[in-house]
A and B are shown apart, each in its own frame.
Chain A
Amino acid sequence: MTNPISNLRGGDRAVVSLEALSVSYGPNRVLEHIDAELASGEITALLGTNGAGKSTLIKALSGANPQYTGVVRVDGSVVRLATPTDAVKLGISTVHQKVADGIVPGLTVAENLVLSDLAPGGGGLFVGRRSTLARAREVVRTLELPWDDRFLGHDAARLGISDAQLLVLARALRSKPRLLILDEPTSALTAPEVERLFVVLRRLRDQGLAILYVSHRFGEIETLADRALVLRDGRLALDARRPFDWHALLEQMLGRRTDLVLAPVDVRRGTEAVVSVRGVPLLPTSAPIDLDIRSGEVLGILGLIGAGKTELAETIAGARPAASGTLELGGEAYAPKHPDEAIRAGVVLVPEDRQAQGILPGWSVAHNVTVPFLREASPFGVLRRGRETARATVVVDELGVVTAGVDASIDDLSGGNQQKVVVGRWLSGGPRVALLDEPFRGVDIGARREIGARLRRLAADGGAGVLLSSDVDEIIELADRIVVLVDGDVLLDAYADGVGRELVVASLLGTTRADRSVRSADPLPDAESRNEDPA
């Protein structure tokens, strides 16, 4: 096996060290005197809530923000990271969160792999197809990816998200970095894809690479990281080594004591079926399903990407017509052709993609809140400022939205607070059914708790809450009743007090029907550590 890491010095030697690293935007200090060492052969997790300074730190290290103060050393010598190219030359490679931004559609996988050769000073004036392929093969070999020549010749735009992630990672490793920075690399991956990525990362670590790993998912950090840095309000709050004391970590992240596992103590059992789905196929290839959504409980629908979660939610919310089958709402036929009809009937959807489907950029918080309820805010069509402000104020207060006020621009809010506004918007109408599709993506744990509490209150007040997620822990934490979807099929439908985490995970893996031996198939080794932790 060839080794992609040159100049391997071995051991736990500091590759990159930061001394009093600070970043200010104007007079506002967002990163304050960070002292840390990132060692070779070690995976260091970087934790922090939204706005804690994670992105700022990554920007400074990747050369995207030269306005930092303090000292950065690479292999002991002081360096200046003025541009991204500088950082790469000094051995710091970064894989950013939005993988799609790193892929050039229309070029082949091979051409994408050796893309840096096309930049000035790259591999010469002419780029031959054959030499590109040869160089791409070399990259593939070093990462031990199962990609043959045919695959390398595909248009990169056709890659799935997991392969795209590996492509970008492989490319980042081409420059033979000493430090690899990964910014939420798993946010769009399914569990098996995460596992595949982890295998690659562990091997790279064992070969001596230093890895800085940013994630919101504690399970992943527990599984993968050797060390954890916790940022809070721009300061380094904790530098911990394995085994992690998750209580201490969470306390440092949030600044308050938090219990780790918060499965609802009171598992509610809803009474009446408010939405009945009958004979609706979720995917073009899947069999029709039946499902009841009951009032007075939170239904957690767990499924990986492509399992049909979003299709189910959008069908019920009138955003996507059902291919066949029928829906009933409160016992009456219900076939919404537009979200407007669903909203009027009391069925609301918090869509999956906050930026693309949720917020109205440039608008105030208040106007973002009221947009589905303009009729109520405008007698005879004339908008009443007071009514808009009142509704928005309730949302801001109920969910603890951090904002300069209801008239502040939504653009000025952090991701978690934007999501609170979107969720609060949809729950502010007192819906009969609220569908939340991946509401916690890119949201810090504080916001997650507040949104979760609001959802449980909706159920307590007699509404039907539906949480759709690909994260087992989110579902276990909030749901009274758990439905597991796999490939458009319902594999589990049970109340939370009757099933354990293992059964849920096993259902997700599709092993319950064919093979009842649950334990052997569990690919999420974080399960036990998370469950036994609170003490």
Chain B
Amino acid sequence: MTTAVQPRALRSTRSVGSALADGVAKWGFIAVTVALIAYFALTEPSFATSANVLGMLKFIAPTAIAGLGVALAMTVGGIDLSVGAAAGFAVSIAAYTMVIANQVGGIAIITVLLGGVLIGSINAVLVVVARIPDLLATLTTMFVIVGLKLIIVDGQSISSRMTLPNGTTAPGVFTADYLALDRGSVGPIPIPVIIFVVLTAALWFVLEHTRWGRALYAVGANPEAARLAGIRVRAYRAAAYIGCGLLASIAGLLLGARIGQGDVSAGNSLLLDAVAVALVGVSVLGAGKPNAWGTALGAVLIAVMVTGFTMAGLPYYYQDFGKGIVLLVALLFSFTFSRRRVAVVAGSTASQ
């Protein structure tokens, strides 16, 4: 193909400045993460132990999984602000199923997953059918779900064998099989870490190597071109929100097993972290689009930072400041230093 020569020549002779900017945009995040890890490994002797590494991954698993959900919603050009509420809903519903309804852990898990699909479906209907802009629709869902959760549990946290308002004792407990979601392990690897890695790999495979993933990205890149190319745009957008709801409920399952009770405030802080790690994922390796491994790396970065700060004896409120800076840097890499068009356009696609 003789026609190929000229553009290649153009590219190789680009200026040093823009090459540098590209390099920063591509590798900046990895470099920051490695630098942080190296710093904490040198200054905190207990940081670089395998126990701590696994502990960090386990700690961040719910955030990472909710972040995968947000990344999935972002692939179709949307966003889901109800992930934190959906995870919190899952925590309370799991507790209610086991403690009040006296069911085994397996039933609780199935109920929670169905709840996640339901929440995702509500978002899908609001965004795809009712055509409410995604930011507003999922914000509304967030309110409704938080309220609904409090109505179901009478506004209180549910714990094993708690005393009910009518004076009797609750019939059920958090069962061992459910709690194993947090406390179990395969060999040295905690179960939350396995779920985190498996889900990340699965989402990566679907998005990068299957036609369904390609279609999701096509919907996000140009919905009209996707429609004319025969892609069922509305179905894919609905599927992305349902998948997001499901992932958020899985995050809630892990959170509930960790806390060991139906804490009504659980999941409140999850939303911002989940959105942050998904946005960090967009900037990792200059991907310019939401993706699974980038999201996972964003979660790891936050885990490293939180753990490192804690070991260094900094007060907890330093963590939020650190996360904010990380997100800011991620956005700078994605939007400012990158010459590529970034495919995150949350809130702009709802009228499709």
Contact = CB atoms under 8 A, between A and B. Distances in A.
5 contacts: A361-B221, A362-B343, A372-B230, A374-B211, A404-B4
Contact of B225 (A342, A357, A397, A405): A357
A339 interface: yes
Interface in B175-229: 209-212, 214-215, 218, 221-222, 224-229
Nearest to B227: A339
A508 to B, nearest CB: 28
Contact of A360 (B1, B209, B218, B232): B218
A89 to B, nearest CB: 31
A81 B228 CA distance: 44
Q: Which 9 A/B pairs are nearest by Cβ-Cβ distance?
A: A340-B230, A374-B211, A372-B229, A404-B7, A378-B211, A343-B230, A360-B221, A26-B15, A371-B229
Given A362-B289, A402-B7, 4 more contacts: A351-B225, A351-B228, A362-B221, A362-B341
A304 B1 CA distance: 39
Contacts of B341: 361-362, 411
B13 A375 contact: no
Contacts, number: 100
A378 B224 CA distance: 23
A381 B3 contact: no
A374 B222 CA distance: 16
A338 interface: yes
Interface of A: 26-28, 317, 319, 338-340, 342-344, 349, 351, 356-363, 367, 371-372, 374-375, 377-378, 381-383, 396-397, 400-405, 408-409, 411-412
Interface in B260-299: 288-289
B151 interface: no
Nearest to B213: A383
Nearest to A422: B225
A397 B1 contact: yes
B215 A374 contact: yes
B7 A408 contact: yes
A371 B232 contact: no
B288 to A, nearest CB: 7
B161 interface: no
Contacts of B13: 26-28
Contact of B340 (A357, A362, A367, A383): A362
A100 B124 CA distance: 34
A401 B231 CA distance: 25
A285 to B, nearest CB: 26
Given A351-B228, A404-B4, A404-B11, A382 B221 contact: no
B140 to A, nearest CB: 29
Contacts of B8: 404-405
B4 A403 contact: yes
Contact of B232 (A338, A372, A408): A338
Contacts of B221: 360-363
Interface string B330-352: 00000000001101000000000
Contacts of B215: 374
B224 A357 contact: yes
A362 B288 contact: yes
Contacts of A367: 214
A383 B210 contact: yes
B334 to A, nearest CB: 13
Contacts of A378: 210-211
Contacts of A319: 227-228
B230 A26 contact: no
